[in-house]
Chain A
């Protein structure tokens, strides 16, 4: 293989990781909400809130990290609406989640008008990780990225650890699988569900904020373009495991990056097909995921989407 090919491929994979990062954060977040038994279909809405506030705060403060935190918080606060409806009011989680998505898209459409096509004055800078970035292939792809990408690696690993190795993880898994048993054993089911739904929102916000701060540092209406839906599908693909989520996120990030590269080298794709792409991808993810899950005999948390009421028979 010639050197030029090399560079093109590494650039492609490196872009795949960045695009994948916009998916990885929300996927991990949704994994944890679902593990607690809360289905939040509002990921797209929480992401666009994160993207918008992330962009605006970065633009104003000229500090991408403060912007990122603002985006994270915007996602978390949006999630609390869903938590209130589905945990406290015991409402229908599908309806509430869809409403959250519509709300997020509508809110940012309304308040985003005057920011459209503005470019962010700053972005996050690339930093090579010593030693690791020297590893052939792996190094330039994974370890010549920005701090927010590295943060996502840490989040995935730490969250995997919390899920399987800690008391908190046991409480979380029990709550989504059998809330009544968890409650009878002294776990606070409501608090657990609130916290992890909020956490899911924080990470959805992070995914959105990464999009407008690093991956595509400008603001366009509806610029999450279905990524929230892909993330929801990736949760199944990842079999509710944060490390598997990395595989799924980079795979589908790669498809996105490839499509951009193709456009860059002049391959024209009809715009209708491009618009369809995220949804087509979601469909593909769901089909693949369902097959894997069936073969491996893994199933969703048993009480996913079911409200809990202690005194109900």
Chain B
């Protein structure tokens, strides 16, 4: 019994309309890294939230060190030594690192003993080479640093069962590597870790054992050494998954998008686009690689009219669209998959129908005069759902209840159904499972083959290399190099992403 530090027995959790966890049995050994794999909506986060006390299961028991545990709130789980890093960070952005670390701790004195706490934070931070500043505000930190605050928070509480829900989804490859070093170190110190990721190469690198969930049920638990990515993918999806995509030879057509010397500022008033220029042609996917925060987001906003260009010009099919109203730009043939599907792409509290018709309700047949023809709207939505194989609890349920992959499919369906000349896709597969990722990439290739121009902005180098025809690298708001995909490799792009020029990276080559 003592071999297992945590055991979940028959955990069942129902949400209105979904059985998120269906009699799940799961064991965590002391000192192991145990990965939970599963498609979007398989129930991974739900199970973790139950262990952390955020959700309360309808059925089932949890045992810690062989003894039944009563977990009814995150405060309870903390007492059992469970600490969780959530898929969406649980940090209060207006508070300091220190304040976030002590948040909720009952054993703190009424007056905060800043010095003593800061020292303890620094001690943990130094042990793992984090370089955290206890008095910095959370909003001032990068995503990677915020994640380290989350880790410190758990260690400060003395957690010895650590749950990390998709920690690498928001990290750059370098940051992910650093995280893995930390996890290995924690494991060597005897901590037990539950890890969630959709990236099979990461899973193969870090795990000891892997449990696969599908539709709320456990499909099986395997040892890392006795399995491989192909088998895991099959367990997860229930069919073979293609790791390579078929593509037709490039038929590069006329110039669709031309960006010329564009400059723009970010929300904090810092110049983030610096005389950037490139073109995208009909029938090609132009992949723009770069480390997050080098102006990618702002570039997409300038092209779609959501941010003012302070200098330079944007042409669509030869027509100047610089700083036009977003609706004008959309109507002249640009569609957009924004990086944040829940904040910009979709309206979370509206139904699939309302979200699906956002591009169409102004026009006949869905719009008729000042009214919306909901019969037509429903039919149209149903056709999208069928064509793109989108899983919805009910067609009129709010889209915030869909899984990430299904939200993204709905968004993609809405945007490419307008058959635009230009499609801008920013991080189109972030956080998606392998099935959905494969689906989205296939669709992008499909629209390329049909003659659309695609601007793909992504931090995922594998993705850029896999589906682009040409690759540009953005660094500090400039293009540091453009090359044909067949001449590109991870090393070369990596150097450009870090700021060296094309000539420099060519000589290193």
Contacts and interface: CB of A to CB of B under 8 A. Distances in A.
Contacts of A182: 92, 103-104
B108 interface: yes
B54 A184 contact: yes
Contact of B400 (A170, A171, A310, A313): A313
Given A184-B54, A313-B400, A168 B110 contact: yes
Interface string B51-95: 010111000000000000000011100100000101001111111
Contact of B104 (A178, A180, A185): A185
Contacts of A188: 75
B85 to A, nearest CB: 10
Contact of A183 (B74, B91, B99, B111): B74
Contact of B105 (A173, A177, A186): A186
Contact of B54 (A165, A173, A177, A310): A310
A185 B54 CA distance: 10
B52 A165 contact: no
A180 B124 CA distance: 25
A182 B110 CA distance: 17
Nearest to A181: B90
Given A170-B103, A173-B95, A313-B400, A186 B74 contact: yes
Contact of B74 (A167, A171, A184, A311): A184
A47 interface: no
Contacts of A313: 15, 400-401
B375 interface: no
Nearest to B268: A297
Contact of A170 (B86, B89, B102): B102
A171 to B, nearest CB: 7
Interface in A179-200: 180-188
B246 interface: no
B201 interface: no
A185 B104 CA distance: 5
Given A165-B112, A170-B112, A174-B103, A181 B91 contact: yes
B174 interface: no
Nearest to A298: B94
Contacts of A151: none
Contacts of A178: 90-93
Nearest to B86: A184
Interface string B118-146: 00000000000000000000000000000
A117 interface: no
B109 interface: yes
A174 B110 CA distance: 16
Interface string B37-57: 000000000000000101110
B106 interface: yes
B92 A181 contact: yes
Contacts of A181: 89-92, 103
A173 B112 contact: no
Nearest to B106: A186
A185 B74 CA distance: 6
Contacts of A302: 94
A102 B401 CA distance: 38
Interface string A293-313: 000000000100000001101
A166 interface: yes
A25 B148 CA distance: 41
B294 to A, nearest CB: 24
B90 A173 contact: no
A175 B52 CA distance: 19
Nearest to B88: A180
B92 A173 contact: yes
Contacts of A186: 73-75, 78, 103-106
A177 B75 contact: no
Contacts of A184: 52, 54, 74, 84, 86, 90
Given A167-B102, A170-B99, A180 B90 contact: yes
Contact of A177 (B55, B74, B92, B108): B92
B111 A174 contact: no
B110 A167 contact: yes
Given A183-B74, A184-B84, A185-B74, A167 B108 contact: yes
A33 to B, nearest CB: 18
Given A185-B104, A187-B104, A165 B111 contact: yes
Contacts of A187: 103-104
A310 B72 CA distance: 11
Contacts of B56: 311
Contacts of A165: 111-112
Contacts of B55: 310-311
A189 B65 CA distance: 30
Contacts of A180: 90
Contacts of B75: 186, 188
Contacts of A311: 54-56
A166 B92 contact: no
A182 B75 CA distance: 11
Contacts of B102: 167, 170
Closest 4 CB pairs of A and B: A186-B104, A185-B104, A186-B75, A181-B90
23 contacts: A165-B111, A166-B111, A166-B112, A167-B112, A171-B103, A173-B94, A174-B99, A181-B90, A181-B91, A181-B103, A182-B103, A184-B52, A184-B54, A185-B90, A185-B103, A185-B104, A186-B73, A186-B74, A186-B103, A310-B54, A311-B54, A311-B56, A313-B15
Given A170-B102, A183-B73, 17 more contacts: A165-B111, A165-B112, A167-B102, A167-B112, A170-B99, A173-B92, A174-B99, A182-B92, A184-B86, A185-B74, A185-B100, A185-B104, A185-B153, A186-B105, A186-B106, A187-B104, A188-B75
Interface of B: 15, 52, 54-56, 73-75, 78, 84, 86, 89-95, 99-100, 102-106, 108-112, 153, 400-401
Interface of A: 165-168, 170-171, 173-174, 177-178, 180-188, 302, 310-311, 313
